[in-house]
Amino acid sequence: MSSAQKSLTLYFKRKAIVEESDNNLAKKNKLNDNLNNILNDNVTTTQTISNTEPSRDTQPNINENCPLSTTANTTANDNKKRRYQKWYSDNYKWLIHEPNQGGFCRICRDYWKPTIPFYSEMNARTKGAFATQPFVNWKTAPGPNGSLEKHQQSSYHNTAVQNLSYRQQEGSVIEQLLNVSELERQENRQRFGDLLDAAYFLFKHELPHTTLYSSLLELLAKTDHSKKLSSFFDKCQKNASYDSTTTVTELLQTISEIIDEQILRKIRESRVISIMADEGTDINRHQNLSICIRYCNQDTGEPTESFISLLKIKDKDAQTIFDTIVKELEAKHIDMTKIRFTGFDGASVFSGEFNGVSAKFRQIYSDSILFIHCRGHILQLCLLDACEHIPEVEECLSTLKSLINFINRSSIRLARFNDIQALLQCPQIKLIRPGDTRWLSYFRSISVILRCYEPLMITLEHISNERDEESPTAAGLLSILENQLTIFLLHSLEPIFEALSILSKSIQTKNADFSQLEQSMLGTLLRLEELKDINITEYQKIFEIVDKIKTSSNDDGRKRATRTTTRTNEVSLQQQFNDKIVKFIDKIISNLRARFESNVLQFLNCFRIFDVAEVTDEPEYGVQQINMIKNQYPNDFNDNLLSEWKVFRKYLFVQKQQQTSTNLSQRQQCINLVKNGMLKDMYPQLSLAAEIFLCAPISTATVERDFSTMNRILTDLRNRLTTEHLEQLMKISIEGPCDLDNNIKDLIINCWKTKKLRRISV
């Protein structure tokens, strides 16, 4: 065979092999390295034919770890043994095969870099096989002693595997950074929560927050043995230490917003509300208007009274007050059509029938809105009116005021009084001045005077003997205190005022309703009727006390009371009791019955049908009362109200027949109807009627307490507080929880960090 024919035969053989290789590449994307070796052996045979070879037949990589066969007569079986087999990678998961190059260990290739220790040693001993250089000697690859198994058992491969395992545990660089960032954020959030606790402590306890905040944080940092708070301050930037007045002011605003939003959410969920308001003057002589709302919590059914706003007003006329209330409530997105009651004191600007604030609510929103005069103010008016009709009682109470003013207005006289109490081994008692507008003040004043009666008399006697300008006043007060009638009146008035104080306390209960008021009222009237009997135990003890106290006889001194004078005094005191005490009690009772019986109370008495003790099986029981409720609020109820009542009446009657001690009161029945549950779904109209009853305010004590809170916060040293900050402090003091739990903290911190861009991640 000629040289040309031999070259042509080799050409077609090579072309057939290349076409077969192309088919394998289309399926597996791999190139047969041994075929390139054969082609390279024949390159020198003819340069012309070699130049026509396809571009994919590239020169193989040659290194010491992959010796190539140079024998031209290599058989097909030998070629098959020298190819990469897929099962290599199945058995050795670290093996990857790259076409045109060879096999690599993906673990070693990623790990062994020139910067890694022992890289030079590894490269010298292994020639970089599987790591930096591809492995192509597949003939020696399989088997227990093959190259693949030897590489897997090598120390260099194990080092790379251990490093990979460690990196997988630690995560990627980005994951590590994210984890570090998240841990830092959580730590910052916890430390900022400590700052929040410190600020809230000052707000809740009505302490000066702008002056004490930084000092309190320094104290907390010193007492923190974990040093976490100190580390937090050290880590913060100088302009972002969060111990400044600006920060505590921002926290004040944020906490107030969160508390306000929680209250407003419950108010918006309720179906009816009542408005309570009053005006007062602060130490800066500014006129302020306090607004409260009474509503029912839909989750529990309990009536609640919440402080809403404190607003500065320029005028005290009805129109200004009305406009201020409406503007504030609308700004807070409170539905004004939910109003069913308005509760104010007896001032004409609020209670005026035609131009008062309550009248304007009826004119603008609904004629069904009822005005309720504060029962606490009514009780005080009943007492003052009764005192005016009994001059001796009024004079006795006036003497009480003069006596307390005389002692308290002089530090010298007050110190002497305290020294005498200590000398007589009496408890140190502070004298309380009664006031016509301060509820319970008369009972507390009389109770205090009777407890320190003897030290007071001795104090007045010492002052009167000094012959100075105050001696005549002391002598006059002493003569009044030594008088038996004064002693008897003071002791007799104490149980009367005590009964009234109990009624006053029940009226001032924050979530009290008219059913509770009626029960307290009935108990008070029965107690007053009992106190008209001179033979009860209390008066027998009073007579004994009066006999023990020395009375004045003449200007020269005192003389011991004889048996005859004692008997005469007893007769005269009995007469005084009938003429003064009994008449005083009768006047109080008549005032209570006259002033407490109003059209509103008659309407609210309709809800007594919910009382299990009074329910009957008569078909007409409660029908009249249901119709009265429907007529009062025609926009709220329809004929379904009566239908629901006829079914609910049977439910109440079954409870009564069971005669168990667990029968619910009228109040509890209404609460069960109001709160979310089965009864509310079954009787929607009755549920609304019960909610109206529970929302009726019996007093404005909540508003009065708001002004007391204002006076505690706005002191002479804090008189520069703005009305806005004062309102926020009042809201936290009145409505804020005792401590902040984690849920509220999260709400506060999330709200705070959205106010502006913060330099710290929380």
What is the reported pLDDT for 497?
A: 92
**Which band of pLDDT confidence, cut at 50, 70 and 90, is reported for residue 31?**
very low
Split at pLDDT 50, 70, 90, the class of 187 is: confident
How many DSSP H helices and E strands does the chain contain?
36, 7
β-strands 273-281, 102-105 pairing: unpaired
pLDDT, tens only, 87-118: 888 889 899 988 888 999 999 988 888 888 88
For residue 239, the model assigns a pLDDT of 67
Greater confidence, 349 or 236?
Answer: 349
Alpha helices in 154-236 (DSSP H): 155-170, 173-204, 209-223, 228-235
Give the whole-angstrom CA distance, residue 658 versus residue 359: 47
The CA-atom distances, in angstroms, between 4 and each of 43, 51, 586 are 15, 16, 148
At 440-485, the pLDDT tens digits run 788 889 999 999 988 999 999 999 998 888 889 999 999 888 888 8
Phi and psi for 425 in degrees, rounded to 5? 60, 40
Q: How far is CA 482 from CA 123, 444, 466, 752, in A?
A: 117, 21, 19, 66
Work out the average pLDDT over 508-531. 87
Q: Is the pLDDT of residue 344 over 50?
A: yes
**pLDDT given at position 216:** 94
Map residue 97 onto helix, strand or coil: strand
Written as one string, the DSSP assignment of 238-300 is GGG-S-SHHHHHHHHHHHHHHHHHHHHHHHHHSS-EEEEEEEEE-TT--EEEEEEEEEE-TTT
> How confident is the model at residue 738, as a pLDDT?
93
pLDDT at 342: 95
Q: Which pLDDT belongs to residue 38?
A: 32
Least confident of 40-49, 284-293, 369-378, 424-433: 40-49
Closest CA to 74 of 96, 29, 42: 42
Q: What is the pLDDT of residues 397-437, one digit of tens each?
A: 899 999 999 999 989 999 999 999 999 888 888 888 887 66
In this prediction, residue 460 carries a pLDDT of 92
- CA angle at residue 123 from 121 to 129, to 5 degrees? 140
* Residue 123 reports pLDDT greater than 90: no
pLDDT of residue 259 exceeding 90: yes
Structure tokens at 564: 């005859």
pLDDT beyond 50 at 53: no
- Which of 68-77, 230-239, 728-737 has the largest mean confidence? 728-737
* Tokens matching residue 245: 């007045």
Confidence of residue 596 (pLDDT cuts 50, 70, 90): confident
Given a contact cutoff of 8 angstroms between Cβ atoms, the answer to whether 377 and 400 are in contact is no
Kind and range of the H or E run holding 733: helix 723-735
Closest to 453 measured CA to CA, from 404, 493, 501, 498: 404
- Quote the CA–CA distance of 631 and 638 in Å, as a whole number: 10
CB 99 within 8 A of CB 56: no
Structural domains present in the chain: 272-372+720-753 (3.30.420), 378-595 (no CATH), 601-694 (no CATH)
What DSSP state is assigned to residue 99? T
Q: What share of the chain is helix, strand, coil (3-state, %, to 5)?
A: 65, 5, 30
User: Distance between CA 552 and CA 480 in Å, rounded?
Assistant: 9
pLDDT recorded at residue 554: 39
Of residues 44 and 524, more confidently modeled: 524
- Would the pLDDT of 126 be above 90? no
pLDDT tens sequence across 636-671 = 999 999 999 999 999 999 988 887 656 778 899 999
3 state DSSP class of 305: strand
Instruction: Pick the closest to residue 325 from 271, 369, 284 (CA basis).
Output: 369
As a whole number, mean pLDDT of residues 610-627 equals 91
- Residue 545: the pLDDT is 82
Above 90 in pLDDT, residue 682?
yes
* pLDDT attached to residue 512: 81
**Mean pLDDT over each residue of the chain, to the nearest integer:** 83
pLDDT at position 124: 87
Q: Which amino acid is at 17?
A: I
Instruction: Specify the pLDDT at position 664.
Output: 79
Whole-angstrom distance, CA of residue 382 vs CA of residue 27: 106
pLDDT bin (cut points 50, 70, 90) of residue 356 is very high
Residue with tokens 């602060």: 282
Handedness of CA 119, 123, 129, 133 (dihedral sign): positive
Q: What is the pTM of this model?
A: 0.72
Which of the four pLDDT bands, split at 50, 70 and 90, describes residue 52? very low
